[in-house]
Amino acid sequence: MNKKSLKNIEWGILICCLVLTCIGIVALFSATQDNNSAGEFDKQILWAGISIPIMLIVVLVDYNLIAKISPVLYVLAIIALVAVLFTEPINGASSWFKISENVTVQPSEFAKIILIVFLAYIITILQKGGKTEINKIWKLLVVALISGLPVALIVLQPDYGTVMAFIVAIAFMLFASGIDKKYIIAVLLLIVILVPLLYFYVLPEHAKERIEVFLNPELDPRGAGYNLIQSKIAIGSGQLFGMGILMGNQTQLGYLYPKATDFIFSVIGEEMGFIAAAVVIILYVIMITKSIYVAKTAKDDIRTDILQ
């Protein structure tokens, strides 16, 4: 790694990621001490080991080169999102390729990064005549088509949480690209109109139930709200300094489920306490704000000349 690469690294983001990874691994170790979660800890260690070399490779590779191959990556991502629809559903969603008994791959996570890079490349091309060029209707339709295809495929899985992540990312990119305020207002009005219609007439019953119980777990304390109530008990039981690693009642006695994935933060709250849980939130805030700062202060766009 040369000096220029080291100089351009945002060390604050890197440190936040490493600390969060360490906290997560410790919490996951504690949460996987039963047969129901066997293999989750080993899988996390495996992916952590794989991700570090990938991180180093990405740091060393010029982002213009990544942009150059982004159209090919986009096509591969679409193929993967189509193929995953024909896999056996897990928890009601066809979102994963099962590599082995303990290893699954979710193509939508890779598609998320690929879409951001490819969309940045496309927007840069569309803005060659000036930043306001993005406001032309046909150019917005191009962006909508490129963004809408992977989003539609993920809706079919269905994975509405990932869809929301895609929509938020796309919205921020358009905002940063200088989209006219009239389009933003129009979209907000459309959302206000469509959200109630989608909620009452499109959203499946199990999804409605999850939203309603999330807002008020006491609606079904022994059914859909049970896990959420147990997670709140776990966080409260940790108090200031926690009950200790491998010592959490909700975590170790099986009341918290799924503790190795959805409720891992509750494990941190119960066994490491309020201070550790607060540190996790603060680290995420620092990481997000620094990421936004890096994006806002970037000195150049993708060099489209290298992509000709």
Kindly give, in sequence order, each residue whose CB lies less than 8 Å from that of residue 31, ignoring residues fewer than 6 positions away.
37, 40, 251, 259, 260, 264, 267
Backbone angles phi, psi at 98, to 5 degrees: -90, 110
Dump pLDDT digits (tens) for 113-125: 899 999 988 988 8
Chain centroid offset of residue 11 CA: 21
Dump pLDDT digits (tens) for 10-26: 888 889 988 999 999 99
Dump pLDDT digits (tens) for 111-170: 998 999 999 889 888 888 777 778 888 888 998 899 999 999 998 888 888 888 888 888
* pLDDT confidence of residue 4: 59
* pLDDT confidence of residue 275: 93
Over residues 6-12, the mean pLDDT reads: 76
Over residues 36-61, the mean pLDDT reads: 80
- Locate the domains of the chain by residue range: 1-58+205-299, 62-203
Q: Is 213 helix (H, G, I), strand (E, B) or coil?
A: helix
